[in-house]
Structure 1
Amino acid sequence: MELDFERCYRAVDSRDQRFDGWFYTGVTSTGIYCRPSCPASTPKRQNVRFFPSSAAAQRAGLRACRRCRPDASPGSPQWDVRADVVGRAMRLIADGVVDRDGVPGLAARLGYTERHLHRMLRAELGAGPLALARAQRAQTARTLIETTELGLAEVAFAAGFGSVRQFNDTVREVYGASPSQLRTARRAAVGGAGTVTLRLAYRPPLHAAALLDFFARRTLPGVDEVRDGTYRRGLRLPHGTGEAALTPAAGYVAATLRLTDLRDLAPAVARCRRLFDLDADPVAVDQTLGADPALAPAVAAEPGVRVPRAADGFEMAVRAIATQQVSLTSARTTLTHLLASIPPPSPVDHEVSEGFGDQTSRQLHDQRGEDGGGGLRGFVGAEEVLRVADAGFRMPVGRRETIRAVARAVADGRLDLDPGGDREETARQLTAIPGIGPWTAGYLAMRALGDPDVFLATDLAVRRGADALGLPDNPKTLDAYASRWRPWRSYAVIRLWRAA
């Protein structure tokens, strides 16, 4: 990725927070790298290098600044919205695919050879998949060191390191301090065994009320809830289950995560960031939408409206299909009955993972029982839905069979509804399933896959919102009008829903 020196240097000189996560500033005279908004004195031009990723800065021998903590900056909005291989790879790495399946597993998910994938990532990000995963591993380790009482050896393996020595060497190299020194100097609160409390950074503004209102209208008993300004939900994670409590605050979202297996910290954080669309660039979105006189008053009144995303692609598919041609209230009743027909899994079945942390996992289970955790569970998986009898659906036969067809495709690995999936291929596969049309495929592209440029012209609420704003409500005319909102039409959909 080409980084214009003058533009980057001006952003650093003005300490512009909008550029945090877009690039990283390396200072050769001090041997550290920072986020653009670092409050330290602006370095001299001859001592500055700019990097497209923290991993690239680390490969150049620089350590993370202890003042601005660049490893905790918002994620790059470029990789968040791009649908190409590099964007998909970044989302999969953030979800921990390299830690679980290695580079071969990542390459297989993307459909490229390891060599070609490495070449593409090096060209765009200045670092290969192992270096990118290593940078994330180091950040996960730091979070665990500062927010839990786990022993450092347990932290090492929970963060994904292959050995304690590798863990110690990486932490010293990235942060310029040993793990024990980081723990001594920690500033975050400790929430108890199995509980991690951290701050999820975002680029302001963030219209938190719009997010909480959206989720509140769609909560399902036992899965998620909105209460006292906090969104809580259960999570299905690669190594077990978890719960997340997300509370928007000024400049960050406070996240409390309860995990049955701490190896799931990075995937849990990635899902939480997706849910609240925290890697978006709201200034760029609002500038485009606000240029339209019809939307300008709404943008000025409510800056920073995000697209509420999904923690689980299959969950979003079931929700979307159940909502076809019925109200949200009816869909919630149907989905509540479906979930009630599936018994919850035994926590211990998920907590004890082969070859890692049996004792620690049981301790986490004991702690969750003591502190009242475990009240929410993640949405059911595809295999569980396939075992539900006809009576468990309480919906028209066609809709029931559509859900089953999606479940079979996901369970067989033929359909990828995660953010790392190929958007065009996923849309093609979805629309080939009887009962799924352009609206459902578009809705999933927007909320599950994170496509920023989806417009649902036939959606009744979108048309009502358009009418409320004095826009044409005929789907064909409205779709043509919406072209002026590219590439942020998904955000326009949310604003039209709010107008309705």
Structure 2
Amino acid sequence: MISTAVTRTRDPRPDPGPRLETVYRPRGALSLGATVGVFQRGPGDPAQTRDGAVLWRATRTPLGVATVALRQQADGAVRAAAWGPGREWAIAQVPALCGAEDDPTGFDPSRHPLIADSHHRHPGLRLGRSDLVFDALVQSITEQKVTAIQAFAAWRRLVTWFGERAPGPAPKPMFAPPSIDGWRRIPSWAWHRAGLEPPQSRTIVQAARRGASLVAAVERATDGPARDAVLTSLPGIGPWTAAETRIRALGDPDAVSVGDFHLAHQVGYALTGRRVEDDGMLELLAPWAGQRQRAIRLILASGVSEPRRAPRLHPMDHRDR
């Protein structure tokens, strides 16, 4: 059972309303942590956290803010509870979040021994989807051309400062991301204090000005290239950001984040023992066309990575400059 005890805090909690519960029983193996854990943006993410065996999410749904608690039972089923005005949407979305719409048809892991081994060792790895296009887009923009530490810190500050306090008995104060209009209204000084560079903040504000029409156009698009065309029509959004948005919001099994600082090197080293650039990565992934994101996720899950050749890059803090 998911505990409903409210942690004592001086932070006021909104009225959670009635709790809704459901049990999602996946058709096959499911690793909740591997499938849903990837949506968390760093250890201090105010919108997603893990407390023991329970995974907590604060989301802004089309019906309002909701808090969701997920716990996987010994039989593989996922028990879910939700609070807040968006609880019905959040409960209905749990199967998709857990990969119920993920279709591995046509994926052949035997084409490479490393992927075959990883597929065997991680049978519960699914491609989940959040169905929250704008949130995924903002996350991807904040992660452009910076270290993960910088991006996660900026996301944490902005969501905490301008998001909405999540309802329900989460183990610590959690916040749902701002609304689309809320992102547009963040003052310029706040972006800087959060550690986000002007090109990123401008891109988020410009995307928010198109708001609902942008989200609707992405959702109407019928395939990855069509979704990319919608997203990359905005200044500041390129193929990497579009692919990351498709992966997180829509669970796109074929999206490849071309232009990533590390990904091509990781894929090349895992599959060939040497680094490759983007063109080489795409050539290596070609045997899994239509399922390239699944192949990438299994490569990353394998734990095989190139030995570090140089000291880790330390992020620069520009907020006081």
Q: Which residue of 1 aligns with 2:65?
A: 241
Query: If the length of structure 2 is used for normalisation, what is the TM-score?
Result: 0.76
Structure 2 counterpart of 1:445, which letter? R
**Which residue number corresponds to residue 393 of structure 1?**
191
The Cα of 1:454 is off from its aligned counterpart by: 1.4
In structure 2, do the counterparts of structure 1 residues 426 and 252 end up closer, same or farther at CA, with 3 Å as the change threshold? Answer: same
Kindly provide the amino acid, as one letter, of the partner of residue 187 in structure 2. A
Residue-by-residue CA offset, 1:17-59 (whole Å, 9 max, x unaligned): xxxxxxxxxxxxxxxxxxxxxxxxxxxxxxxxxxxxxxxxxxx
Q: Which moved more, 1:483-492 or 1:453-462?
A: 453-462
Q: What secondary structure does 2:71 align onto?
A: strand
Pair 1:453 & 2:254 matched: yes
Do the aligned partners of 1:455 and 1:482 also contact (CA within 8 Å) in 2?
no
Structure 2 gaps, min length 5:
1-15, 306-321
Q: 1:376, 1:341 → 2: CA distance? A: 11
SS at match of 1:460: coil
Indicate whether 1:293 and 2:117 are aligned.
no
Give the deviation of 1:270 after TM superposition.
3.8
Counterpart CA distance in 1 for 2:135 and 2:108 is 31
Q: Pick one of 74, 81, 96 that aligns with 1:256.
A: 81
Does residue 16 of structure 2 align to residue 196 of structure 1?
A: no
* Aligned-residue offset at 1:390: 0.7
Kept in 2, the 8 Å contact 1:241–1:377? The answer is no
Structure-2 change in CA distance of 1:488 and 1:331 (3 Å): same
Structure-2 change in CA distance of 1:342 and 1:442 (3 Å): same
Alignment of 1:324-343 (within 5 A): 324-342=144-162
CA distance in 2, matches of 1:234, 1:340: 12
Structure 1: unaligned runs, 5 residues or longer: 1-191, 348-364
- Structure 1 Cα separation of the partners of residues 133 and 250 of structure 2: 8
Aligned counterpart, 2:279: 476
Does residue 383 of structure 1 match 2:181?
A: yes
> Deviation of residue 374 (structure 1)?
9.6
**Which structure's residues are more often helix, by fraction?**
1
* Deviation per residue, 1:283-338 (Å, 9 max, x gap): x46x5123333411211222232224325211111110101111222111111222
- Secondary structure of residue in 1 paired with 2:123: coil
Q: CA deviation at 1:219?
A: 5.3
**Does residue 1:493 correspond to 2:296, yes or no?**
yes
Structure 2 equivalent of residue 278 of structure 1: 100
The offset of 1:200, in angstroms, is 1.0
CA distance in 2, matches of 1:325, 1:392: 20
Q: Secondary structure at the match of 1:236?
A: strand
1:214 and 2:15 matched: no
Which residue number corresponds to residue 233 of structure 2?
Answer: 432
Deviation at 1:220, TM superposition (A): 4.9
> 1:476, CA displacement in angstroms?
0.7
1:271 is matched by which residue type in structure 2? Q
Deviation digits for residues 406-451 of structure 1 (CA, Å, limit 9, x no counterpart): 111114x244376565444432121122211111111112221332
Mapped partners of 2:300, 2:139: distance in 1? 17
Match of 1:361 in 2: none
- Could you report, residue by residue, the CA deviation over 1:329-371 in whole angstroms, capped at 9, with x for unpaired residues? 21111112222332637x8xxxxxxxxxxxxxxxxx8xx5xx6
Contact 2:42–2:152 (CA under 8 A) maintained in structure 1: yes
Secondary structure of 1:470 counterpart: helix
Q: Is residue 131–residue 250 contact of structure 2 (8 Å, CA) maintained in 1? A: no
Give the Cα separation in 2 of the matches to 1:328 and 1:452.
Answer: 23
Change (3 A) 1:374 1:312: farther
Structure of higher RCO (CA pairs closer than 8 Å, 6+ residues apart): 2
Distance 1:373 1:229 in 2: 12
Classify the secondary structure of the residue corresponding to 1:469: helix
How far apart are the structure 1 equivalents of 2:118 and 2:188?
45
Equivalent residue number for residue 185 of structure 1? none
Query: Is 1:410 the counterpart of 2:230 in the alignment?
Result: no
1: CA distance, partners of 2:44 / 2:99: 21
**Whose radius of gyration is greater, 1 or 2?**
1
SS of alignment partner, residue 448 of structure 1:
helix
The one-letter code matched in structure 1 to 2:42 is R
**Cα distance, 1:247–1:290 mapped onto 2, change above 3 Å:** farther
Change (3 A) 1:430 1:419: closer
Q: How many residues align?
A: 281
